[in-house]
């Protein structure tokens, strides 16, 4: 036998070989332990991330730098409707559209001739659009041919109890009428009526009506173009406020609670009801849908105060009506 072989001791190797299964088992156990450990650590990291993100977003939102939540849209676009015969209102509609698009708002210019209120007006209840109506008055206070159907439909709807006082609730609108004060009794009649009928159907007047006057002597700003420019400036600034989410024309500066109470009382009146009858009477007397002028530019709330009936006023109106009946 080789003496060098005697020097090697194979006993440890042999025992390793015999116990190899235990060794494998040990390795396998160790590996699975490490795997479990890794999984637990990853899960913990994920949880802590989930918890910290909303907190971060909250912090960021309160700091006002960034909003991770979806921004609320207050005005989705502007629709400019016009009723024109010789093109003045149409031209104004184009100018207004340019001013609106400079605010990065979608704008549509619509000829009332191509618009069926019966099918589409109610869509504006939920559209978040602001609707501007530029309408001219013609002989005997009649609308242009193009706006004839629109006006007839609106008048009938406003006086039809089936539509009710909230039919157009949610529609936001502003009216600019074109006329000539030389036609004294019919001056701007269509603008006044459209404003009134929309209001009677529950639409929300975002600003008081504008009156364009062709009579340069009597025109408030010297010409119908200047009247329109003044109204347009007010409309744009009102639009900007609406885009920011301001709801009240007064921007919250009016006397506490006044806005709400007026809005409420205006909504509480139903066309055809006694209150509405009283309202019509007042309409004839005081012109509650009164026009607009420079003086109103800073006092929208005042206009809206004027243009709706307070509950107190209602009592007086009813009294007056009773007296008139007796007489
Ligand atoms: C024949 C005629 C009749 C008019 N009748 C009235 C009227 O009754 N009341 C009024 O306020 N304006 C009246 N106007 C003035 C127009 O409303 C005014 O010129 C307006 O700017 C026309 O707008 P348009 O060019 O868009 O059609 C009348 C104008 C004409 C030519």
Q: Choose one of 96, 138, 220 to mutate for the ligand 1 pocket test, by most ligand atoms within 8 angstroms of C-beta.
A: 138
Phi-psi region of 237 (alpha: psi -120 to 50; beta: other; left: phi over 0): alpha
The model's pTM: 0.66
The winner for highest mean pLDDT among 169-178, 261-270, 286-295 is: 169-178
Angle formed at CA 242 by CA 240 and CA 244, multiple of 5 degrees? 75
44-59 as b/e, with b when 16 or more CB fall inside 10 Å?
eeeeeeeeeeeeeeee
What does each C-alpha distance from 57 to 51, 183, 318 come to in angstroms? 11, 61, 57
Fold held by 77-252: Rossmann fold (3.40.50)
The pLDDT assigned to 199 comes to 96
Please determine, for residue 186, whether its predicted confidence score (pLDDT) is greater than 50. Answer: yes
CA gap 164, 70 in Å, rounded:
35
12 CA from centroid of ligand 1 (Å): 116
The pLDDT assigned to 246 comes to 86
Three-state secondary structure call for residue 286: helix
The pLDDT assigned to 77 comes to 97
Using a 6 Å CB cutoff, which residues line ligand 1? Answer: 84-89, 136-139, 141, 144, 178-180, 183, 186-188, 214, 224
Question: Checking DSSP bridges between strand 142-143 and strand 129-138, what pairing results, if any?
Answer: antiparallel
Q: Which tens digits make up the pLDDT trace of 118-164?
A: 999 999 999 999 999 999 999 999 999 999 999 999 999 999 999 99
Q: Which tens digits make up the pLDDT trace of 282-300?
A: 333 233 455 454 444 444 4
């Amino acid at each position: 036998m080789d003496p060098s072989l005697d020097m090697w001791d194979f006993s440890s190797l042999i025992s390793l070989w015999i116990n190899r299964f235990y060794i494998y088992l040990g390795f396998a156990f160790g590996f699975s332990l490490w795997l479990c450990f890794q999984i637990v650590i990853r899960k913990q990291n994920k949880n802590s991330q989930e918890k910290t993100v909303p907190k971060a977003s909250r912090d960021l939102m309160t700091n006002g730098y960034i909003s991770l939540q979806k921004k609320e849209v207050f005005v989705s676009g502007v629709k400019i409707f016009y009723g024109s015969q010789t093109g003045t209102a149409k031209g104004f509609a184009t100018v207004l559209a340019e001013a609106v698009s400079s605010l990065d708002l979608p704008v549509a210019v619509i000829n009332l001739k191509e618009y069926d209120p019966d099918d589409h007006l109610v869509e504006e209840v939920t559209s978040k659009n602001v609707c501007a109506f530029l309408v001219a008055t013609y002989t005997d206070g009649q609308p242009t041919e193009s706006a004839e159907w629109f006006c007839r439909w609106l008048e009938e709807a406003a006086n039809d109890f089936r539509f009710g006082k909230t039919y157009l609730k949610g529609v936001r609108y502003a009216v600019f009428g074109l006329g000539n004060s030389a036609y004294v009794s019919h001056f701007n009649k269509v603008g006044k009526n459209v404003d009134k009928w929309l209001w009677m159907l529950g639409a929300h007047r975002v600003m008081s009506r504008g009156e364009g006057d062709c009579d340069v002597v009597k025109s408030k700003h010297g010409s119908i173009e200047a009247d329109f420019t003044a109204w347009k400036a007010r409309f744009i600034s009102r639009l900007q406020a609406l885009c920011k989410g301001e709801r009240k024309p007064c921007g919250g500066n009016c006397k506490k609670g006044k806005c709400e109470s007026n809005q409420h009382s205006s909504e509480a009146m139903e066309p055809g009801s006694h209150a509405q009858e009283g309202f019509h009477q007042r309409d004839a007397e005081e012109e509650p849908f009164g026009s607009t002028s420079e003086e109103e530019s800073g006092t929208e709330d005042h206009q809206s105060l004027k243009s709706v009936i307070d509950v107190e006023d209602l009592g007086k109106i009813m009294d007056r009506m009773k007296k008139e009946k007796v007489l």
